[in-house]
A = this chain, B = another copy of it.
Amino acid sequence: MTVEQASGTLVLPISAASKKKQRGAKGPKLAEARTDRILATAVGLFGAGGYQTTTMDEIAEATELNKATVYRYFSSKEDILYALYQRFLDAAVVQTTAIAEGPGTASEKLRAHLKCSFTMLRDYLPYWHVVIKEDSHLSDRRLAVIRRKRKAYAAAVDRIIQEGIAAGEFRTLDPRIIKLAVEGMCNWGFRWFKPGGPMTAEALAEAFAEIALNGIVASPDARSEGDQGSPVATGSSHS
């Protein structure tokens, strides 16, 4: 598996065509389609109105299933919240670990990691708003599981950065600071990223990787040449 494949193949479908899938579906397929549909509906309601004020009645109504059916798949509202956290973090951990353990230089892996972060923004945007806010509504036992997954994700990012420093490919800056800076560059996208915007997730990831890796200060050479060769160069100002 190449780094590109590792970063591109493992985003799970979350809600697309779940209704269509359900038509004529039976047994495990019906269960999967309904689970997807309940989660896709709930993540939108939790994100818009907050977990606490959303009721199971509202979820059932918006899902167009009766409440008994919803309860067949999730025995409580907290079960739904927990499933959302799991789905989001499992996708992040699987992809990021595959990148960290895969082939390539640390710079290539960091680019792939940023690509993964932006495709996660694109494909899981409603999840970000929930997963950032609602930790306090998970039981201690479940929160411990979520924390382990967050640690596994963080460890994969650490590994990429430490590998780059050990190889002399990255400067010997504090790896925790590098991680916080790079993660922030991407994750703050939950505030501004719009799927279908003028730049694709992949193009944004490439532009951000360029800044993370090489900074924004012009090198003395580039300065004298005007640095016009950049793939994201623009000479014009914007409003």
Q: Does chain B have a CB within 8 A of A61?
A: no
- Give Cα A73 to B212, complex, Å: 47
In contact, B188 and A184 (Cβ under 8 angstroms):
yes
The segment out of A18-26, A74-82, A172-180 that lies at the interface is: A172-180
Who on chain B is nearest to A198 by CB?
B176
Shortest CB–CB separation between residue A121 and chain B, in angstroms? 11
Q: Does chain B have a CB within 8 A of A17?
A: no
Given contacts A168-B223, A172-B226, A232-B177, contact A217 B216 (CB under 8 A): no
A235 in complex: contacting residue of B50, B158, B172, B217, CB < 8 Å: B172
Q: Does chain B have a CB within 8 A of A67?
A: no
The segment out of A7-15, A33-41, A203-211 that lies at the interface is: A203-211
Number of interface residues of A (CB under 8 A): 56
Residues in B neighbouring A213, C-beta threshold 8 A: 215-217
Given contacts A132-B191, A211-B178, A232-B177, contact A218 B184 (CB under 8 A): no
Shortest CB–CB separation between residue A165 and chain B, in angstroms? 8
Given contacts A188-B184, A191-B132, contact A175 B53 (CB under 8 A): no
A214 in complex: contacting residue of B188, B217, B234, B235, CB < 8 Å: B217
Residues in B neighbouring A164, C-beta threshold 8 A: 216
- Give Cα A162 to B235, complex, Å: 10
In contact, A174 and B207 (Cβ under 8 angstroms):
yes
Q: A175-B234, A176-B238, A177-B208 are in contact. List 11 more A-B contacts (CB 8 A).
A: A133-B133, A162-B237, A168-B218, A169-B223, A171-B216, A177-B207, A184-B184, A184-B185, A185-B185, A187-B191, A213-B215
